[in-house]
A and B are shown apart, each in its own frame.
Chain A
């Protein structure tokens, strides 16, 4: 039998170098005892020496080392032998580690999970008390009792977090002391920590953030197991908080509604000035009213009303279908991919955007949610009809000489006709309000079509833009 003595700290590194020699010599786990300072070891048998260093190559993977290191902080005295056995098995079969159904893998994973949870709980439940300090740095100390011997693996977290203070965490396994550098020292008796006024404030917070109407002690106990309670200042309050909760809930019910203080009505009256809903006489008034529009149901899912923008005295009005994802987010028309296509072509054709009013037939985005994206949907006839009120107001205030309708929805909104767009495109029709409407493709159609069809549609679109600009503003575009 070989006995390997492990030191108080850096145990994993010691195990690793011994295990390497043992595995190299082909010595099985059953022939080794591992003596750990943290647990009593049966010392009745004498020890054979470790085999000498040897050249045999020992295979380990990065994952294996990470898992083994994590398991090494478990309190189970068997862990060293288990890791030794796993190392031996790995030499014969490197693939067993990648099978999550393998019983040995399952056991190692469970141990590692228990260690990780204990580390996490230590990061959560250490409570520092302020100590007297004679230097410029403030000093703090804590006593903590983890389930596993995790001092070395759990405390670098505190060094990164509390780098500007001196601190000490004492545990049964040993002491971590930080003074700019992290040191590990032999265990000491549980220190007597001084009272700390901030702990009383913390208790006040704990008692008042608690909602007595939703008691759930099971969730509390599973996340904050009883074994940690004795070192937490706030847990002393729990019994009284629970005992008092039913009375507090009953008192709320018994008290019921109360009369509002006198000033409340005044404040409320000042804030709740009823919105002006008389038919708007100006573009600004129309925009304000449209922001609150609930004529159809699209407003519930869309972000906001996207009102038209541009020159309010424009001779040319361009009407699209409805805002898309980007328009909805930014609150502006024609800022998405189709809008970019439109604006780029206007620029290329030398058509001055400052002489145009841009808007949509429907002022709210219609979509279906798909995970983290919103898929555009076409507005239906009802939605277009409801929104015609706003388009009509815009047209009344802008009074364009010509309106360019992009796509079938805009054509329907303006002319009331729903027959196919293809034979009508490029021609001028009379709008419901008597104005002139030139029909063309919606730019999103050009983006959707395949190459050759797209370039044909784009040419038609550009020719319609030119025609519209020529008829409305007589400007460039020939």
Chain B
């Protein structure tokens, strides 16, 4: 077999990495290259490009290799797949990262890998690449490393010193789904590695007896990913799992990845059209849990089957199912209740609170402050607006749901 060129390897190993949704490069320590090295990070992340699937390209997202001894039914790289295999040398990963970085194409590297030989061997190679970037090249950009469950703790500890973010994927919302579809993975070891990361991050924040601060451990925190639509789990159960993960492991993000057809699919899983709208609604629901004070039961309970309404957003769905709580009097309502008004975002609510201190807030003021009044009008009362019977009208949902027609994907 002829040696593959760098370009061929890049094609194979980026194709193999694209099913991981994470692309964040924000929220790490502020640093730059004015005192040596190359690169900078901190503050908001930057998306350097967008592909036609609407996803941003912020990091060079590649696998070290797509050889893998595991047989996860949903994964293109599983051992039983006939996909073409390749393996980067550590030097190749470092060169690609730095050359793309110098041309301002990326914020840094997101490195993952198939499991080769053993978890320790794989994690060891991942750590080596991160060490070369940080120590040999003074790379100050962003590094996100996948940690391999079951890898030795000292390897993960070293990874945390170089990486801004570490992540391990929970893969599926229910333990029994994971056992069925990814028999080599164990849910308890995945959660245990998240727990270890949380404890390591907390330990790194404590000062020692001498008052010296321990070296930072994965300062941009950890995240995880759940595949949506490969099993029968309801959205309520997915959100419950997310709530448990956020509460337990101080995760920065749970990514939801609509199960997407892969070349050379497994017979176990049907090839389906990826449930993109469901994925979108889950992200909205996740946002409501993290920034709007909703809990999983409230959002997941808006419909009896525990699934999110695909036609309207989950906040609107909750408001329609809880109309007795509306209309909200904008002049007096507490922040928590303003946050529950459909059409009010967190920024709008902050502006409303500031504007209330300067005088009465009217309909036109809300429009200027960014409220989406087409949604909010049924749920608020103002000095110059009262929804009257609108809040309780039977056809209120129909006013928001899209007309029943098939939209083209390529519009």
Known: A205-B60, A224-B50, A264-B80. A198 touches B355 (CB 8 A): no
Question: Which B residues are CB-close (under 8 A) to A158?
Answer: 104
Q: How far is the CA of A219 from the CA of B411 in the complex (A)?
A: 12
Closest partner residue, chain A, to B6 (CB atom): A201
Known: A161-B40, A162-B102. A300 touches B51 (CB 8 A): no
Question: Which B residues are CB-close (under 8 A) to A264?
Answer: 71, 79-80
Mask, A217-259, CB within 8 Å of B = 1, is 1111001100000001010001001100100010111011111
Question: Distance in Å from the Cβ of A80 to the closest Cβ of chain B?
Answer: 23
**B18-66: which residues lie under 8 A (CB-CB) from chain A?**
18-19, 32-34, 36-40, 44, 46-57, 60-61
Question: Distance in Å from the Cβ of B385 to the closest Cβ of chain A?
Answer: 15
Known: A140-B103, A299-B188, A328-B195. A160 touches B267 (CB 8 A): no
Known: A100-B354, A129-B103, A242-B52. A300 touches B10 (CB 8 A): no
Q: How far is the CA of A432 from the CA of B49 in the complex (A)?
A: 67
Question: Which B residues are CB-close (under 8 A) to A329?
Answer: 195, 198-199, 248
Q: How far is the CA of A142 from the CA of B18 in the complex (A)?
A: 29
Q: How far is the CA of A49 from the CA of B260 in the complex (A)?
A: 69
Q: How far is the CA of A302 from the CA of B49 in the complex (A)?
A: 39
Known: A160-B40, A374-B248. A220 touches B52 (CB 8 A): yes
Closest partner residue, chain B, to A103 (CB atom): B368
Known: A303-B192, A304-B192. A252 touches B263 (CB 8 A): yes
Contact of A257 among B194, B265, B274 (CB under 8 A): B265
Of A364-372, A388-396, A453-461, the segment with at least 4 beta carbons within 8 Å of chain B is A364-372
Closest partner residue, chain B, to A367 (CB atom): B247
Mask, B318-340, CB within 8 Å of A = 1, is 00000000000000000000000
Question: Which B residues are CB-close (under 8 A) to A196?
Answer: 103
**Is there a chain B Cβ closer than 8 Å to A348's Cβ?**
no
Of A40-48, A206-214, A397-405, A419-427, the segment with at least 4 beta carbons within 8 Å of chain B is A206-214
B32 touches A201 (CB 8 A): no
Closest partner residue, chain B, to A218 (CB atom): B54
Q: How far is the CA of A138 from the CA of B103 in the complex (A)?
A: 11
Known: A257-B266, A271-B70. A208 touches B52 (CB 8 A): no
**Is there a chain A Cβ closer than 8 Å to B271's Cβ?**
yes
Most buried by A among B81, B184, B261, B350: B261
**A102-159: which residues lie under 8 A (CB-CB) from chain B?**
102-103, 106, 120, 123-130, 138, 140, 142, 157-159
A162 touches B33 (CB 8 A): yes
Question: Which B residues are CB-close (under 8 A) to A367?
Answer: 247
Contact of A268 among B17, B79, B192, B243 (CB under 8 A): B79
Known: A160-B34, A161-B40, A329-B195. A303 touches B103 (CB 8 A): no
Question: Which A residues are CB-close (under 8 A) to B274?
Answer: 213-214
Question: Distance in Å from the Cβ of A467 to the closest Cβ of chain B?
Answer: 36
A213 touches B359 (CB 8 A): no
Question: Which A residues are CB-close (under 8 A) to B346?
Answer: none
**Is there a chain B Cβ closer than 8 Å to A101's Cβ?**
yes
Question: Distance in Å from the Cβ of B389 to the closest Cβ of chain A?
Answer: 28
Question: Which A residues are CB-close (under 8 A) to B244?
Answer: 301, 369, 374
Question: Distance in Å from the Cβ of A179 to the closest Cβ of chain B?
Answer: 14
Contact of B261 among A253, A291, A300 (CB under 8 A): A253
Q: How far is the CA of A208 from the CA of B38 in the complex (A)?
A: 27
Q: How far is the CA of A371 from the CA of B56 in the complex (A)?
A: 28
Q: How far is the CA of A238 from the CA of B57 in the complex (A)?
A: 14
B104 touches A128 (CB 8 A): yes
A220 touches B54 (CB 8 A): yes
Question: Distance in Å from the Cβ of A159 to the closest Cβ of chain B?
Answer: 8
Closest partner residue, chain A, to B202 (CB atom): A329
By size class, the interface of chain A is 35 or more
Contact of B243 among A142, A302, A303, A369 (CB under 8 A): A369
Q: How far is the CA of A28 from the CA of B262 in the complex (A)?
A: 66
Question: Distance in Å from the Cβ of A232 to the closest Cβ of chain B?
Answer: 7
**Is there a chain A Cβ closer than 8 Å to B183's Cβ?**
yes
A101 touches B355 (CB 8 A): yes
Question: Which B residues are CB-close (under 8 A) to A261?
Answer: 80, 82
**Is there a chain A Cβ closer than 8 Å to B273's Cβ?**
yes
B54 touches A232 (CB 8 A): no
A99 touches B49 (CB 8 A): no
Contact of A198 among B100, B188, B296 (CB under 8 A): B100
Question: Distance in Å from the Cβ of B249 to the closest Cβ of chain A?
Answer: 8
A256 touches B271 (CB 8 A): yes
A216 touches B263 (CB 8 A): no
A99 touches B354 (CB 8 A): yes
Question: Distance in Å from the Cβ of A106 to the closest Cβ of chain B?
Answer: 5
Question: Distance in Å from the Cβ of A132 to the closest Cβ of chain B?
Answer: 15
Contact of A140 among B10, B11, B102, B358 (CB under 8 A): B102
**Is there a chain A Cβ closer than 8 Å to B152's Cβ?**
no
Question: Distance in Å from the Cβ of B112 to the closest Cβ of chain A?
Answer: 13
Q: How far is the CA of A369 from the CA of B250 in the complex (A)?
A: 12
Contact of B18 among A129, A130, A210, A256 (CB under 8 A): A210
Question: Distance in Å from the Cβ of A410 to the closest Cβ of chain B?
Answer: 24
Most buried by B among A128, A159, A205, A263: A205
Question: Distance in Å from the Cβ of B337 to the closest Cβ of chain A?
Answer: 18
**Is there a chain A Cβ closer than 8 Å to B216's Cβ?**
no
Known: A163-B34, A215-B52. A305 touches B264 (CB 8 A): no
Known: A253-B271, A329-B198. A216 touches B175 (CB 8 A): no
Question: Which A residues are CB-close (under 8 A) to B271?
Answer: 252-253, 256
Known: A257-B265, A272-B184, A372-B246. A215 touches B365 (CB 8 A): no
Contact of A127 among B105, B247, B262, B368 (CB under 8 A): B105
Question: Distance in Å from the Cβ of B151 to the closest Cβ of chain A?
Answer: 16
**Is there a chain A Cβ closer than 8 Å to B276's Cβ?**
yes
A202 touches B246 (CB 8 A): no
Closest partner residue, chain B, to A216 (CB atom): B54
A257 touches B18 (CB 8 A): no
Contact of A294 among B61, B175, B199, B260 (CB under 8 A): B175
Q: How far is the CA of A157 from the CA of B296 in the complex (A)?
A: 40
**Is there a chain B Cβ closer than 8 Å to A448's Cβ?**
no
Q: How far is the CA of A292 from the CA of B189 in the complex (A)?
A: 10
Q: How far is the CA of A206 from the CA of B11 in the complex (A)?
A: 9
B79 touches A127 (CB 8 A): no
Q: How far is the CA of A209 from the CA of B261 in the complex (A)?
A: 15
Closest partner residue, chain A, to B13 (CB atom): A208
Most buried by B among A103, A130, A215, A303: A303
5 smallest A-B Cβ distances: which pairs? A219-B54, A216-B54, A260-B80, A369-B247, A100-B351
- A101-B368, A303-B195 known; 16 other A-B pairs, CB under 8 Å? A101-B351, A126-B104, A127-B104, A140-B102, A204-B10, A215-B53, A219-B55, A249-B261, A255-B263, A257-B266, A260-B81, A261-B82, A302-B191, A303-B194, A328-B195, A371-B247
Q: Give residues in B with beta carbon < 8 Å to A.
A: 6-7, 10-12, 14-15, 17-19, 32-34, 36-40, 44, 46-57, 60-61, 69-71, 79-82, 96, 99-100, 102-105, 174-175, 183-184, 186-189, 191-192, 194-195, 198-199, 241, 243-244, 246-248, 250, 258, 260-267, 271, 273-274, 276, 295-296, 350-351, 354-355, 357-359, 361, 365, 368-369, 409-411
A/B interface sample: 20 pairs, CB < 8 A: A99-B355, A100-B354, A101-B355, A125-B48, A129-B103, A159-B34, A161-B39, A164-B37, A201-B6, A210-B51, A211-B19, A213-B273, A213-B274, A217-B411, A257-B267, A292-B188, A294-B175, A304-B195, A328-B248, A374-B244
